[in-house]
Structure formats: C-alpha cells, structure tokens
C-alpha cells in the first residue's frame, strides 16, 4: 500500500506568540492527499490558506499535530531530502536585476547538484524541458525584471517543475495570469498529474477554475473542520455554499455559481433543451431573475424551432436571440 | 553567456580584469612620489641589486610592495564583504559598514586616543609604539564588540530587515560615542584620529603583512563555500529554504564572514569607504550576472584593482605629499557607479 | 664662556650694536628693524606684536598672523599712577599693573613665573599637565583655578574669578564666541607663530609691560638674546654642517617643519644643515614617506620631540614603524631626543631658546661646548 503524498493528523496551524500564547487559525486538521491527484485548497480570504501551505512544506512551524510526507516526517528529513520531495510556487517577488529566466529555473536543480551548483548536461535538459512545458522557452536570455507578471509566474512554476519533486505546492498560482493563461496553467498542472504522476496541491480564489479542473477540493473555514471531496459532490451537497456563504451571496448548486440572494426576484423557468441553455440562464441571472425548478411560475422559456418562446399567463412571444428574449421579459415586468 | 556589453563573453571580461590587476600591481611598484627608474625597480624586484641602491631598495621592497599587497587584500576583502551584505539584506545600498562594524573600530580607536591622552598623559600622536599596534588592537576590539552584539541580535530578531535597522542604529550610537570622545580629546589626537579615519594602505608594513594577508585570505576562502546558498538567497528566504538552504544558519555565517573581513581590514587600514558598496555593482553591471559563482571571484579581482588604482592616485600625484585613500576611492568610484546605473535601465525594456 | 652678572650689565650697551650687526649676519629669516632711539622700542625678533613707547603710556599692537593688514588687538597701557592722556580712547586703555590674569597657555604664565609675578595669575588651563612646581602648588592650593581644557572654556568659572585680563590663543575664524560673552579685556597670544626662537622668547616683554615690570622683562630677554647670539657666533664660521631632519609619520603622512620654521631656524643656528630647508614654508609640510626617505634617509641626525613618561628607546621607535630603523641616523644612533614630559618643553622651552640651542650645538658639534648639561635635547641612549 503506497503512502499517501500527504497525511495530516490533528494538525493545528497558526502562530506561536511569546509567553505561550498561540493563535490557531483552523480547527485541527485531519486529511489525506492521495498521490497523483490535483487538489485545490479553497476558503475565504484570511482563512489561512497560505499559512496552511507554508506549514505543510516546512516553511512554518505547526502548533501541534503530525505531518507526514510520503510516509516521512519532515523534521526528520535533511533539508536536502526535503527539497527533493516538495517544491513550492509562491507569490513572492524576486527583484534582482540580473537574474535571467533560465537562471531561476536552473536554481530548481540545486538540491540535485553538487557543492558548486554546476549544472550537468542532463540538468540543462531538464531545465529546458521545464521551460518548454510552461511555454516560456522563448524567454531564454531575458532578465526576470523585464518579464510580465504572468511570464514571471510561469518562470517560477518551471523552476518547481525542474526541481522534479513528487509533490508540488502552489499558492495562488493563477493570480497574475490572464484568462487564457489561467487555463493554460490548469491544463499544465493536470498534465503533470496525469502524465508524470505528480501530486499537486494549490490554493486559489478562482472557484470557477477549481470546479473545472481540480480532482479534489479541500475546503477550509475558521469555524468548520476541513473537508475534501470532488467539486461536483461538494457543490451539489451544498457544502461549498456552507463554507463560502456570505451575507447577500449564496451558492446556487444548480448553476454552480454564487449569486446575490434576492428572495423577491421574479422566477423564470427555462426548458433544458433550449438553445444555449447555459447562456440564457446567465443572462437571466445577470438581470436579476431567479431560476426556478418548477414549471408553475410566471415566466416560461421554451424552445421553438431554434428560437425562444416566452410564455406568460396569457401571452406568448417568439424571440430570435437571447437579447430579444431578455428585452421582452423586462418589458413585461 | 554574454555580458552587459552584449557580445563580449564573461570569460573575456574576467581575463581582462586579471590582466588589469597585474598591471596595476606593477604600476604601484614602479611609480611613487619618488622617481625611481624602471630598470632599477626591476632589478630590485628580481633580486639583482647593487649595494649603493639601499634607499631605492628600501622604498620599493619595504614601502611600495607591502602597500600594494595590502591594497590587494583589502580591496578584495571589502568587495566580498560588501557583496555578502548586499545579498544578505537584498539591498543594493548595503555595504560592509552598514551594521556598524567599522563604526565600532572607530570607537575603539577614539577611546584609545581619549584614554591615552587624558589618563596617562600619553598623547597618541606623540606616543610611540602604542601608536601602531595599539591602534590595530583597539580597532579590532571595537569592531568585534559590535560584531558580537550583531550576532546575538541576529539570533533573536525575526527577520533581516529588523537586523538591518538594528545595525544602522548601532552605527548611530557608536558614531555619537565617537563624537563625544572627540569632544574631550586633545587637538593633536583629534588630528591623529582624523588622519586614521582617512584610510591608508601604508600602515601595515612588512612585519604585520603576513597575519593580515592570511586573515583576509581565510575570510575570502570561507565566502567561496557559500556560493550555492548565496545564489538561492537571491530568490528570497522562502524559496531558498524550499530548495534546501538552512536559511538562519547561512545568514549567520554570511554575517560572521563579512563582519570579520570588515573588522580585520578596518583595523589595519582604517575605514576605507566605498569599495564595499561600489565593486559588487560594478561587477554585476560589467558581467551582467548575479550568480555568485562568477561574482565572488569577479569582485575580488575588481576590488583589488580598484584599491590599487586608488592607492596609485593617492600617492603618485607628482607632488611630494599624498592624498588620503578615502577621498580618492569616493571621488573615482562614485561617478563610475552612477554611469553604470544609468546604463542598466535598458535591462527593463529589452531585457537582454 | 662665563660672564659674571655684573660685567654683563656693564657691557650691555656696547654689545647692543654688536647684537644688531650679528643678528643680521648670523641669524636666520628675521625681518626686524632695529631702532636705537629711546622714544620708541620695536621688537628685534618678534613679529607678532609691537610696543611703542610714549611719554607716560605705551601702545601695544598685536598683529594677525593670517593677514598682513589686520591687527588682532590694539591697546594703550597706562599705569594706575599715571593720568590717561585725553586723545586716547578709553575703551582701549589697560591700567597696569594688572592683578588678575587668566593665562590659558603655559607660555603665557611661564614668563610671569620667571618675573616673580605668579601671584598675578588667577587661572590657567589643563592644570593636570603642568610640571612647573610653583604653579602646581598654586593650583593644588586653589590659589589658581583651572578654567579650560580640550578646547572648551568654562566661562562661568572664569567670570566668577573677576579677572581683569584674559590671554587666549586665537584662531583664523575669529574670537570664540564664549570669550566674547565674557566682555573682559582680552589679548590674543600668537607667540607660536614666531619663526625665530628669540622672537618667541621676546613675548616676555609683553607680559612685563602688563605687570609693570618692563625693565626686568627686558633684562631677562636681553640676557637670553645675548647668550643665544653668542652661541650663534660659535657656529657661524663652521664649514662642516651635519645634516638633520625631524619628526615622524602618522597614518602615512609625515609633517616636516618648513624651511622657514622655528625648528629650521634652530637647526641652522646650531650649525646643522636642515634637509628640507628648501621648503618655503613657516608651517609644517606633509610629505609622503617615500620622499622623506629618499631625501633624509642618509641624514646624520634625527630630531624627535615627544611625551614619553615611560621612557623612550630605539626599540620603541622601531616598533612604531619598521622603516624607521633603515634611516641612517637610526643606524648610527644619532637621534636627538627631547622628552617633553620630563623636560617641560612646552612650558619653559619658548623662554629658553638659548638652552635649546646649546643642547643642539652640544650634539651637532660637541667640540664647541664642553661639559654641557642638557636641558631639553640630548642624544637618545642606545
């Protein structure tokens, strides 16, 4: 039986103050990270995602509890061994003037190198490979400070890849990326898991992205114990709503999105087979309408030969596109 | 790998620097306030001397040669100390004196002047053997005193920025203590203190040179062992830790090595300004590199060269006196660094 | 040469002319003019001040050493028992004899002690360095106060003493503001700018005027000058002059006395050849060690003056800087040394140039003076 990549037992994370006082951020954590999976850590701001990641990678001391990395205890490993086990990508900024992208990525190889840090040919190949995978091979020779935020982020991700560790931990990796970049990143991470059996744990605010790409979600909250599950399970069971709900915002398990709660919103029922169902729902939500599960409401939208038929108590309208449909509904209110 | 000049490879620049170092070293032997014909200098150096050339032989072997060697070690040592400080604090304005160590040696000297003057009636400026050895010992004591305080602080402070600020505060405290001792000193001793503070490579002398050179060489050698962790620290403490560096221990070693280098050099030459700050920037600019595997040897060579050049200018003038070393290092070095800083703004745009 | 006190007075006038002639011939770098009229008296050697004698009063002018045109002080000295002439501005009058003098430097009170007027001194500075036994006793007994040290003036203490005159050392930037506040009569003392040894000694005349002992002061000075001139005579005809240089390096700089300085004058009068006589300066000149070594490396003698309460030796000198042991003067053990701590050089030296000259001649030309007992300089014992 293979050891899980990460096993946390009664782990308390937080900050140890002087005079024995301690600030514990989360309830004791008991959770396991299976190998070769892409797991996302999600929670509201300030919940402690970054501290969590720093603690499990050995950058921060836990208050109490056990951490096991691939069956080993981190404080029993030498720093060099630990460096070959887990790599990190943070939102730190390196502001040195002269470092080049390949210099940074090459530093990922340092735990594997000898005393002087000289790269062998095999190492250089790994470095180039990592840069290629991240789509920054064309940036070889460029200085770090001349890169855009997204390019810089990718450089550090390439470094983590070059470090060649079974576990990669990333803190808000999609923060600086534009939308295609975010997708590229997620695809890259997923490929690393599928093709190279890497275990990847990352934190993110970007719920949409997590739901689409992560194998598992870990939800944390200061008042509830950590739970894990597939995105779909957690969404449909309402757990996401529980862990994320705020005033005036509620998680809609049908659409998989957070919406402002508005009990007085007009309900609309939309047939599942209408054209571009997803976008019709989107437009309705945006205009303040609530989606109803039941047929017996004021507004009913159904398909009519590829067009939209809007049925109200006594009237019917045919609309050619979504804009017209919305326009019509608004007119009736 | 190309350097900031674009096409010229790093290796070529390093080779050129070594050549320049040798050249400057020779110039320091051949030139001085007294004119000695080159052939004579050459004969003296190669050991074929005539007996009636005693004076010239003395000047070359006992005055110019120790000075040149002192300059080489002092320049290399200060440059390395400066580089270590800049990497440790990730601050381009850091230099060897930033933690107050050379202030500490100033304080040691000032206290010696004060006590030798008022307590015993022995005025340092007139007093004799206490003059040289005493100066060195008191400077070393003061510097190590500060170094010990800084080491202790580094243990209890949470981060490097706090330590930096603490070090600057220590500088201020020692500086004001120096001011107070100056206030109560005799005129002659004040002048002596000022002269010491102007820096000089000629105080070491042949007899003290071996100890000085070995101490500095030791520091340089130890710094070389830190190449890998120094590079990793460039990425920040967290990345460095993740890549296997024992950050606290490494920071401590960097502190100690830089501190000892600074303390020893300042004790023997007085506080020499600017080399520790400027040479790392010069090296980075010239080579376009941040990797310490290249920077460490580079700053050693460039630091030694700069010190030799300044020593040459300070003594050469063509008039019979000499200029203080500190004035020359600052006057020459500062504009060069500014020029390089202006040049490097193109790194932001095309980044090549 | 021994001359009894009585005969010295008798031959004084006839030697005056001889002095004048010799002074121009033999002595060095002095631009004095000699007037033999009884009405006015000008300094023979001192350039820093002048005393003009008038009927019933004296005019004292102290010149600025930094500017040919400025004067630092201008006073009219009138005895208490005399009437102040009408044309004299009252604020510039000093009534003598003064009774309560603050003398901040030892060359200011030293001559007063020699004149037997130590009682006129009420305050000095840096009393812990004083070696004169009379003054030490006075300070210890509280008769004389210590009001300054290390460049600071204790102005309140000074005022409490209610002095009628303050003697002080001026600097080019002007009067220290603290003294201005004192609003007491002040006379700046610039004797250390005199480059002729007799010029420095002649300042005793200024003090004599202030305590109404003009004649006594003049007599003392005349005897000093006479002795000095006689010694100059001894060396005037010497053809073989040994070479000499002075002082030491500090932090790479070596300040040598200028060619027109006090030390250079002494060297010349002592029958030596000063290696740096060509330097056209009255002050000290900083030179690089190399230069000094090449010019003075083979010099015969080396003059060093410093405070060495614990004693001094060739080993001590060598320990300061190895290069020193390579000087010819060192190797031949011909270092002319003055231990300023033991000899009271700073206190009495200015007033005893003839003794210093005699010491130097005894070293440079021992055949000229026999059985000489050194007061200041002697060869350093190996």
Q: Is B134 on the interface with C (CB under 8 A)?
A: no
Residue of A nearest to B2 (CA): A141
The CB density around residue C146, as the number of other CB atoms within 10 Å, is 15
Chain C residue numbers touching B132 (CB-CB < 8 A)? 319-321
The CB density around residue C69, as the number of other CB atoms within 10 Å, is 6
Across the range A172-190, mean pLDDT stands at 88
Using CB atoms and an 8 Å cut-off, which of residues 22-41 of chain B contact chain C?
32-34
Q: Give the gap in angstroms from C-alpha B322 to the nearest C-alpha of chain C.
A: 6
Tokens of A143: 């200085």
Residue C254 pLDDT: 87
Instruction: Compare C367 and B46 and report the one with higher pLDDT.
Output: C367
State whether C288 and B32 contact (CB < 8 Å): yes
Q: Give the gap in angstroms from C-alpha C4 to the nearest C-alpha of chain B.
A: 40
Write the residue in A80, A86, A110 that is nearest to B232 by C-beta: A110
Q: What is the pLDDT of residues A250-291, one digit of tens each?
A: 677 666 677 666 666 778 888 888 888 888 888 888 888 888
Residue C15 pLDDT: 52
Q: Pick from B121, B184, B318 the residue to mutate for testing the C interface (most C CBs within 10 Å).
A: B121
**Topology adopted by domain A262-332:** Rossmann fold (3.40.50)
Q: Is A118 on the interface with B (CB under 8 A)?
A: yes
State whether C293 and B58 contact (CB < 8 Å): yes
State whether A94 and B243 contact (CB < 8 Å): no
Identify the weakest region by mean pLDDT among A109-123, A175-189, C148-162.
C148-162
Q: What is the pLDDT of residues C170-184, one digit of tens each?
A: 877 666 666 776 678
The answer to whether B and C touch (≥3 CB pairs < 8 Å) is: yes
Q: What is the pLDDT of residues C271-312, one digit of tens each?
A: 999 999 999 988 888 888 888 988 898 999 999 998 777 778
Chain C residue numbers touching B63 (CB-CB < 8 A)? 289-290, 293, 323
State whether C320 and B128 contact (CB < 8 Å): yes
State whether B131 and C320 contact (CB < 8 Å): yes
State whether B63 and C322 contact (CB < 8 Å): no
**Cα gap B253→B219, rounded to integer Å:** 11
Residue A274 pLDDT: 87
Residue of B nearest to A88 (CA): B242
- DSSP assignment string, C250-264: ETTEEEE--TTSHHH
Residue A267 pLDDT: 82
- Specify the CATH class of A6-85+165-244 in words: alpha beta
H/E segment holding residue B216: helix B205-224
State whether C293 and B34 contact (CB < 8 Å): yes
- Alpha helix (H) residue ranges in chain A: 49-56, 79-83, 101-107, 121-133, 149-163, 179-196, 207-213, 231-236, 239-244, 277-286, 322-332
Q: What is the pLDDT of residues C68-79, one digit of tens each?
A: 888 888 999 999
H/E segment holding residue B280: helix B275-287
Contact C307, B124 (CB under 8 A): no
Output the CATH code of domain C238-379. Answer: 3.40.50.1980
Residue C362 pLDDT: 93
Across the range A288-303, mean pLDDT stands at 80
Using CB atoms and an 8 Å cut-off, which of residues 49-68 of chain A contact chain B?
54, 57-59
Residue C158 pLDDT: 83
| 3 state DSSP class of C374 | coil
Chain B residue numbers touching C285 (CB-CB < 8 A)? 321
Contact B24, B312 (CB under 8 A): yes
Partner chains of C (3+ C-beta pairs under 8 Å): B
Q: What is the mean pLDDT of chain C?
A: 83
Indicate the pLDDT class of residue A222, thresholds 50, 70 and 90. confident
Write the residue in C151, C290, C322 that is nearest to B59 by C-beta: C290
Q: What is the pLDDT of residues C78-122, one digit of tens each?
A: 999 888 888 888 888 888 889 999 998 888 998 998 899 899 999
H/E segment holding residue A88: strand A86-89
- One of 1.10.3470.10, 3.40.109.10, 1.10.3720.10, 3.40.50.2300 is the CATH number of B10-349, namely 1.10.3470.10
Q: Give the gap in angstroms from C-alpha B309 to the nearest C-alpha of chain A.
A: 27
Question: Side by side, which strands form the sheet with C71-79?
Answer: C49-54, C57-63, C71-79, C93-96
Contact C101, C122 (CB under 8 A): yes
Q: What residues does C53 pair with on adjacent strands?
A: C58
Tokens of A44: 């509201």
Q: Is C289 on the interface with B (CB under 8 A)?
A: yes
Residue C25 pLDDT: 46
**C349 pLDDT higher than 70:** yes
**Cα gap A10→A4, rounded to integer Å:** 16
User: ∠ CA B213-B216-B219 to the nearest 5 degrees?
Assistant: 150
What residue spans define the domains of chain C?
5-228, 238-379
**Cα gap A99→A97, rounded to integer Å:** 6
Q: Give the gap in angstroms from C-alpha A145 to the nearest C-alpha of chain B.
A: 6
Across the range A214-235, mean pLDDT stands at 89
Global confidence as pTM = 0.81
**Cα gap C89→C71, rounded to integer Å:** 17
**C247 pLDDT higher than 70:** yes
Using CB atoms and an 8 Å cut-off, which of residues 266-305 of chain B contact chain A?
284, 288-291, 293
- One of 3.40.50.1980, 3.90.480.20, 3.40.190.10, 1.10.3720.10 is the CATH number of C5-228, namely 3.40.50.1980
**A316 pLDDT higher than 70:** yes
Write the residue in C128, C312, C326 that is nearest to B128 by C-beta: C312
Tokens of A203: 């934190």
Residue of B nearest to C312 (CA): B128
The segments of chain B whose pLDDT lies below 50 read 1-2, 118-119, 121, 124-129, 351-352
Residue positions counted in chain A: 333
Chain C residue numbers touching B114 (CB-CB < 8 A)? none
Using CB atoms and an 8 Å cut-off, which of residues 268-297 of chain B contact chain C?
270
Q: Is B344 on the interface with A (CB under 8 A)?
A: yes
Tokens of B262: 């600074």
Residue C273 has φ and ψ, to the nearest 5°, of: -110, 115
Residue C37 pLDDT: 27
**A57 pLDDT higher than 80:** yes
State whether B133 and C319 contact (CB < 8 Å): yes
**Cα gap C206→A51, rounded to integer Å:** 85
Instruction: Compare B42 and C357 and report the one with higher pLDDT.
Output: C357
Contact C195, C259 (CB under 8 A): no
**Cα gap B103→B271, rounded to integer Å:** 9
Instruction: Compare C154 and A154 and report the one with higher pLDDT.
Output: A154
Using CB atoms and an 8 Å cut-off, which of residues 52-81 of chain B contact chain C?
54-56, 58-59, 62-64
What residue spans define the domains of chain A?
6-85+165-244, 104-162, 262-332
Q: Is B341 on the interface with A (CB under 8 A)?
A: no
């Amino acid at each position: 039986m293979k050891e899980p990549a990460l096993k946390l037992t009664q782990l308390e994370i937080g900050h140890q103050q002087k005079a024995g006082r301690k600030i514990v951020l989360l309830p004791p954590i008991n959770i396991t990270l299976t190998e070769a999976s892409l797991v996302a850590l999600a929670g509201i701001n300030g919940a402690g995602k970054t501290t969590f990641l720093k603690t499990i990678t050995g950058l921060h001391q836990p208050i109490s509890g056990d951490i096991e990395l691939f069956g080993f205890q981190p404080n029993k490993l030498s720093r060099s061994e630990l460096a070959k086990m887990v790599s990190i990508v943070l939102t730190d900024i390196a502001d040195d003037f002269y470092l080049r992208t390949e210099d940074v990525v090459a530093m990922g190889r340092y735990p594997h190198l000898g005393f002087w840090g000289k790269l062998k040919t095999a190492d250089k190949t790994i470095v180039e490979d990592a840069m290629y995978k991240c789509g920054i091979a064309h940036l070889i020779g460029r200085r770090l400070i001349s890169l855009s935020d997204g390019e810089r982020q990718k450089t550090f991700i390439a470094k983590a890849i070059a470090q060649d560790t079974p576990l990669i931990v990333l803190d808000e990796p999609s923060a600086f990326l534009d939308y295609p970049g975010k997708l590229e990143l997620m695809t890259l991470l997923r490929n690393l898991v599928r093709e190279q059996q890497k275990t990847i744990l990352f934190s993110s605010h970007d719920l949409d992205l997590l739901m689409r790409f992560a194998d598992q979600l870990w939800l944390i909250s200061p008042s509830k114990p950590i739970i894990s599950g597939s995105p779909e399970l957690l969404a449909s069971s309402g757990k996401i709503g529980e862990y994320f709900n705020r005033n005036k915002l509620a998680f809609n398990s049908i659409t998989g999105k957070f919406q402002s709660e508005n009990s007085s919103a007009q309900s609309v029922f939309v047939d599942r087979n209408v054209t571009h169902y997803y976008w019709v729902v989107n437009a309705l939500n945006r205009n303040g309408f609530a989606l109803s599960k039941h047929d017996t409401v004021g507004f009913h939208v159904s398909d009519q030969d590829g067009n939209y038929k809007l049925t109200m108590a006594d009237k019917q309208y045919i609309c050619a596109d979504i804009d017209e449909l919305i326009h019509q509904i608004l007119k009736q209110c | 790998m190309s350097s900031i000049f674009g096409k010229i490879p790093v290796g070529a620049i390093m080779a050129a620097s070594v050549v320049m170092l040798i050249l400057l070293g020779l110039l320091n032997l051949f030139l001085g306030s007294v004119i000695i014909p080159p052939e004579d200098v050459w004969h003296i150096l190669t050991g074929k001397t005539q007996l009636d050339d005693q004076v010239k032989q003395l000047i070359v072997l006992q005055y110019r040669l120790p000075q040149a060697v002192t300059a080489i070690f002092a320049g290399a040592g200060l440059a390395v100390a400066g580089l270590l400080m800049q990497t440790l604090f990730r601050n381009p304005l850091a230099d060897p004196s930033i933690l107050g160590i050379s202030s500490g040696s100033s304080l040691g000297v000032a206290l010696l002047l004060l006590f030798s003057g008022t307590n015993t009636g022995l005025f340092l400026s007139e007093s004799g053997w206490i003059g040289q050895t005493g100066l060195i010992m008191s400077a070393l004591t003061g510097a190590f005193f500060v170094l010990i305080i800084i080491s202790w602080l580094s243990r209890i402070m949470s981060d490097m920025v706090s330590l930096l600020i603490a070090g600057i505060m220590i500088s201020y405290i020692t500086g004001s203590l120096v001011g107070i001792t100056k206030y109560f000193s005799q005129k002659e001793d004040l002048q002596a203190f000022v002269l010491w503070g102007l820096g000089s490579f000629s105080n070491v002398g042949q007899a003290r040179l071996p100890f000085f050179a070995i101490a500095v060489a030791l520091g340089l050698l130890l710094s070389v062992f830190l190449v890998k962790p120094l590079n990793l620290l460039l990425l920040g403490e967290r990345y460095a830790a993740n890549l296997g560096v024992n950050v606290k221990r490494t920071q401590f070693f960097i502190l100690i090595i830089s501190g000892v280098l600074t303390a020893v050099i300042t004790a023997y030459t007085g506080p020499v300004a600017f080399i520790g700050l400027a040479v790392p920037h010069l090296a980075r600019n010239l080579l376009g590199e941040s990797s310490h595997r290249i920077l460490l040897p580079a700053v050693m060579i460039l630091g030694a060269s700069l010190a030799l050049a300044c020593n040459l200018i300070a003594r050469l003038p063509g008039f019979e006196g000499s200029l203080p070393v500190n004035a020359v290092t600052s006057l020459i070095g500062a504009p060069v660094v500014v020029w390089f800083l202006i040049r490097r703004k193109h790194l932001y745009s095309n980044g090549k | 040469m021994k001359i009894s006190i009585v005969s010295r007075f008798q031959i004084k006038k006839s030697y005056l002319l001889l002095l004048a002639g010799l002074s121009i011939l033999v002595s060095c770098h002095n631009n004095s003019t000699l007037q033999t009229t009884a009405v006015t008296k000008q300094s023979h050697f001192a350039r820093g001040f002048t005393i003009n004698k008038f009927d019933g009063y004296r005019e004292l002018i102290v010149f600025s050493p930094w500017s040919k045109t400025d004067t630092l002080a201008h006073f009219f000295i009138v005895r208490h028992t005399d009437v102040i002439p009408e044309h004299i501005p009252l604020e510039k009058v000093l009534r003598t004899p003064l009774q309560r003098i603050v003398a901040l430097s030892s060359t200011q009170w030293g001559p007063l002690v020699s004149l037997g007027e130590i009682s006129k001194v009420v305050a000095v500075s840096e009393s812990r360095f004083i070696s004169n036994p009379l003054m030490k006793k006075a300070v210890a007994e509280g008769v004389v106060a210590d009001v300054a040290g290390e460049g600071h003036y204790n102005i309140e203490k000074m005022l409490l003493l209610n002095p009628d005159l303050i003697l002080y050392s001026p600097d080019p930037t002007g009067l220290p503001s603290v003294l201005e506040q004192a609003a007491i009569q002040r006379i700046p003392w610039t004797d250390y700018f005199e480059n002729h040894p007799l010029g420095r000694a002649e300042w005793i005349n200024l003090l004599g005027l202030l305590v109404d002992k003009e004649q006594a002061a003049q007599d003392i000075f005349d005897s000093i000058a006479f002795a000095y001139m006689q010694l100059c005579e001894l060396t005037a005809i010497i053809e073989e002059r040994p070479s000499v240089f002075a002082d030491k390096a500090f932090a790479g700089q070596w300040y040598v006395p200028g060619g027109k300085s006090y030390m250079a004058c002494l060297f010349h009068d002592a029958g030596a050849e000063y290696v740096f006589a060509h330097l056209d300066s009255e002050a000290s000149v900083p030179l690089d060690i190399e230069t000094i070594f090449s010019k003075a490396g083979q010099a015969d003698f080396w003059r060093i003056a410093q405070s060495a309460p614990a004693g001094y030796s060739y080993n001590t000198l060598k320990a300061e800087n190895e290069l020193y042991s390579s000087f010819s003067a060192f190797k031949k053990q011909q270092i002319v040394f003055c231990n300023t701590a033991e000899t009271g050089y700073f206190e009495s030296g200015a007033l005893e140039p003839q003794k210093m000259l005699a010491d130097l001649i005894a070293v440079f030309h021992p055949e000229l003076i026999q059985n000489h007992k050194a007061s200041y300089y002697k060869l350093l014992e190996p």
